[in-house]
Structure 1
Amino acid sequence: MAHQVFEKTIRIHFGDCDPAGIVYHPTYYVLLNKFHEDYLHEVLKVGFIEIRRFGVGFPVVGVHTDFVSPSRPGEDVTARLWIEKLGTSSVKFAFTISKGDELRLRCVETMVCVRLDTEGNFVSSPIPDEIRARMMPYVCEDGDERLTFRS
């Protein structure tokens, strides 16, 4: 892997879990969103709200997830993020969550850079150069392995 990977440890809390004692699947999306926001602040130097200073936003337009193995309260898991594809106005973020060598989750989220037109509608917009430049070290290169999914 020639590209950089953003990585953090996440603690699984009791409140993240369902009555079976495993992470409730929608909670993973909350955990990934918080982790993604950490990436935005630490790498892109701008959060979901502050990105408006560029006149754009990045709504999620697609998600593909495999829940591979359960996570339980009290576990420390490792979240990883990189970019599988960076287009003119879209970006495909790849995420994994693991406990040691055991994969717990793999996910790809596609986001589109948008701005508001004069009527208040979202329209596709090129990713601002400053944001693109900070993303570049995390983008997969030709030949890098991509996430594969069960279906």
Structure 2
Amino acid sequence: MPFTTTRKVRFEHCDPAGIVFYPRYFEMLNACIEDWFEERLGRSFGQIHVEGGHAVPTARCEVRFTAPSRIGDPLALALRPRRLGRSSLDLEIDISSGAEARLHADFTLVHIAQATGRPETWPEALRRAIAADIATTVTEGEAPHGT
């Protein structure tokens, strides 16, 4: 089952035409990832970045916009982890409003040491949590990626 969170499109998200200004989607996407780490994996960004001296920056992000979102629209953000590498993680997030798709994003995050900026192996507890979530979000007939 994907991790799902919701957002309401507010005036602050919109351009003068009243539709979501595309950089605001990136803020929503990042908030979804941050919520997933804390709520599903049990590790907040504060624990990872501040207490742990690590970070999970985005190494790749590909986005396809399929329909505009307007002030007041309720948005559902559905995150699915897809592949877990030694220090990387591939995710996808779909944003929809009701039955209408609004955006699809593919991400690669990398677990790094802040002191060096170099990739580091995921901590074992976090690796187990991510792997378990991948196992529960794989759709029927689809093989999981990575280990």
Question: Scaled by the length of structure 1, what TM-score is found?
Answer: 0.84
1:37 aligned to which of 34, 38, 50: 34
Q: 1:26 aligns with which of 20, 23, 42?
A: 23
The 5-angstrom pairing of residues 48-127 of structure 1 reads 48-52=45-49, 53-116=51-114, 120-127=115-122
1:12, 1:71 within 8 Å by CA — same for their partners in 2?
Answer: yes
Distance in 2 (CA, whole Å) between partners of 1:27 and 1:20 is: 14
**Alignment gaps of 5+ in structure 1:** 147-151
Deviation at 1:141, TM superposition (A): 4.6
Q: Which ranges in structure 2 are unaligned for 5 or more consecutive residues?
A: none
Q: Secondary structure, in 3 states, of the residue corresponding to 2:90?
A: strand
CA RMSD of aligned residues (A): 2.0
Give per-residue Cα distances to partners, 1:1-40, cap 9 Å, x unaligned.
xxx3101121110110111111000000001111211111
Deviations 1:106-148 (A, max 9, x none): 00111111114xxx421111111111111123326594289xx
| Identity fraction in percent | 31
1:149 maps to which residue? none
Q: Which residue of 2 aligns with 1:135?
A: 130
- The Cα of 1:55 is off from its aligned counterpart by 4.2
2:138 and 2:85 map into 1 onto residues whose CA distance is 13
